[in-house]
Amino acid sequence: MPQDYFDYTGNLFDPGKISEKPEALKDLKVLDLTRVIFGPMVGKWFALFGAEVIKIEQPDEGDDWRTGTYMGKYWKESCPYFQSLNPNKYFIAIDLKKEEGKELVKELAKQSDVVIENFRAGLIEAWGLGYSTISKINPKIIYISCSGYGQYGPLRYFPSYDLIAQSMSGVARLTGYSEDDTYKLPDYFGDFFPAILGAVGVLAALYNRSKTGKGQYIDMAQTEALMRAMHQWTAQSTGCEELGPTGNSDPTMVPSGIFKTKDDRYIAIAVATQAQFCALCDAMGKQNLTENPDYAQTEKRLKKDNADVLNRIVADWVKEQTESEIIDVARQKGFAAAPVMDDWRLVSDPWRKERGSVIDFEDDMYGHGLWAGPAASLSESPGRIKHLTRPIGYHNRYILKEKLEFSEAHIQSLEDKGVIGYWDNRVGKRPPSYTDMNTDPIFNYKRGKEE
């Protein structure tokens, strides 16, 4: 009798063994010149899977998102969003507007495999740290620029944020009930989704470089990522009517919607196939629907009038059930149903903790917290969190001494000239007040230990 499959996989992915396993991208060196969400999230993928990611910030100011918190709230004098975007990175602060600062970035770029930047398009080129410069000093570099519309083409200098990208790509008008009642995709989908495709581009370029030895330039546009996730273009090219907002029902699946249960929970149900429809009807005790010529085939069911009737039938059924009753019967019969989770249920979900999607983590500087793990679980070289973020310039000494072998005197002269720098006194930029930076071994790395 072979071992039960889920016992086998449970052992394969055992979260207790993650720290003993190797890291997938261990020897990879990434220079991260990013801020806010889009660029930092590209770097986060590499940082979670073991690459050495050095994040370069402007002295005093740092990444804008250090203070970009929700409703003005901080966690241990830091922005918790910023924490979740930048774990495992090294934080150094170099003034990119000074010539010596640029030289320092170039020195680091010479040793790097990947450079990630998300300044507005053209800006880093104008500063002399763009691909055209870095590829000359390190021809094997994989250099990714992240922007709203890409680095070439007439819209390239056009400004962008998540929401502007949603608007310029046409996503903006698709969520909601009617032309006059549409909503943005929340929590900056226009940054997060482009970021994962950016990471894909870099990983694919690294794969290619391992075969050919060649580096390259990668031009990642927010708008194009959003457009890749839209069905409208293909639909319209087949003569389909314009596809606008359709509220809670997915127009490709009938029945589908978000419904309210007897115990005042919300639950999503969607039926993609004929087999799933039979399973749902079976669960509802309405097997006769599967024989009705209006609903017997998916093609018929998808018609608007039939969809409306079926969605009402499902809504009435859900009203008489509790959330857990529906989930139980969905598991038994095999149709898609899921509770509408919320922030608190997500982070306290035992399943997500068991998966490693929510990690209970104890950080040297910030203490205990619950943080997002890697979105993909790898059995042999899993991702992990090793430390949270650090104040601006925290790793200056560590990186300059370890990676560039600078002397203490050299570092002090860079400090005196303002080429490298540290936090200013705003919350989110500076260390938490309960810490003593004078005795911090990393911040003072090998200070006074030489000549």
Q: Helix, strand, or coil here: 56?
A: strand
Alpha-carbon span 317 to 321, nearest angstrom: 7
DSSP 257: E
- Which residues between 310 and 369 bind other proteins (CB under 8 A)? 315, 330-348, 351-352, 354-355, 357-358, 369
- Asked if 426 touches other proteins (CB under 8 A), the answer is no
Over the Cα atoms of the chain, what is R_g?
A: 26
Instruction: Give 164 or 437: the residue with its C-beta nearer to other proteins.
Output: 164
Instruction: Give 38 or 406: the residue with its C-beta nearer to other proteins.
Output: 38
User: Which of 16, 72, 285, 448 touches other proteins by CB under 8 A?
Assistant: 72
Q: What sections of 38-146 are H helices per DSSP?
A: 38-48, 80-85, 99-110, 123-126, 131-137
- Asked if 137 touches other proteins (CB under 8 A), the answer is no
From 113, 162, 191, 363, active-site residue: 191
- Kindly state the number of chain residues that form the binding site for other proteins, as judged by CB under 8 A: 188
User: Which of 60, 100, 230, 442 touches other proteins by CB under 8 A?
Assistant: 230
- Region from 262-270, 288-296, 412-420, 437-445 binding other proteins, contact rule CB under 8 A: 262-270
CB of 57 to other proteins, least distance (A): 17
- Spell out where 161-319 has E strands: 176-178, 181-182, 216-221, 256-260, 266-270
Question: What angle (nearest 5°) sits at the alpha carbon of residue 137, between those of residues 132 and 142?
Answer: 65
Alpha-carbon span 381 to 16, nearest angstrom: 13
User: Which of 16, 20, 237, 434 touches other proteins by CB under 8 A?
Assistant: 237
Contact (Cβ atoms closer than 8 angstroms) between residue 149 and residue 223: yes
CB of 103 to other proteins, least distance (A): 18
Kindly report the number of other CB atoms within 10 A of residue 268's CB atom. 15
- Asked if 434 touches other proteins (CB under 8 A), the answer is no
- Region from 81-89, 98-106, 390-398, 414-422 binding other proteins, contact rule CB under 8 A: 81-89
Q: Helix, strand, or coil here: 165?
A: helix
Alpha-carbon span 79 to 67, nearest angstrom: 6
User: Which of 10, 263, 324, 407 touches other proteins by CB under 8 A?
Assistant: 10
Kindly report the number of other CB atoms within 10 A of residue 365's CB atom. 18
Site string for other proteins, 86-125 (x = CB under 8 A): ----------------------------------x-xx-x
CB of 421 to other proteins, least distance (A): 19
Provide the phi-psi class of 60: left if phi over 0, else alpha when psi is between -120 and 50, else beta. Answer: left
- Which residues between 382 and 421 bind other proteins (CB under 8 A)? none
- Region from 67-75, 103-111, 390-398, 429-437 binding other proteins, contact rule CB under 8 A: 67-75
User: Which of 58, 77, 107, 274 touches other proteins by CB under 8 A?
Assistant: 274
Whether 308 sits among the annotated catalytic residues: the reply is: no
Alpha-carbon span 262 to 266, nearest angstrom: 9
Instruction: Give 171 or 414: the residue with its C-beta nearer to other proteins.
Output: 171
- Asked if 247 touches other proteins (CB under 8 A), the answer is yes
Q: Helix, strand, or coil here: 347?
A: helix
Residues 6+ apart with CB under 8 A from 207: none
Instruction: Give 12 or 409: the residue with its C-beta nearer to other proteins.
Output: 12
User: Which of 39, 62, 201, 431 touches other proteins by CB under 8 A?
Assistant: 201
- Region from 63-71, 390-398, 415-423, 425-433 binding other proteins, contact rule CB under 8 A: 63-71
- Which pair of structure tokens corresponds to residue 301? 């069911």
Question: Hey, which residues are catalytic here?
Answer: 191
